[in-house]
Amino acid sequence: MSSNAAIQPKISMVWAGMHEEGIRLELSCNVHNKDHYFASFVADEITENLFLELFVAGQSIRVPIETFETAIAEAKKDVHSESWYDRQNANGT
pTM: 0.76
Query: How far is the CA of 53 from the CAs of 23, 27, 42, 46, in angstroms?
Result: 13, 10, 7, 17
**Local confidence pLDDT in tens for the 93 residues of the chain:** 456 788 899 999 999 986 677 899 999 999 999 998 899 999 998 999 999 999 888 899 999 999 999 999 999 999 999 898 888 888 776
Q: Looking at residue 78, what DSSP letter applies?
A: H
How much is the pLDDT for 3? 63
Instruction: List residues bridging with 37 in a β-sheet.
Output: 28
pLDDT score at 27: 95
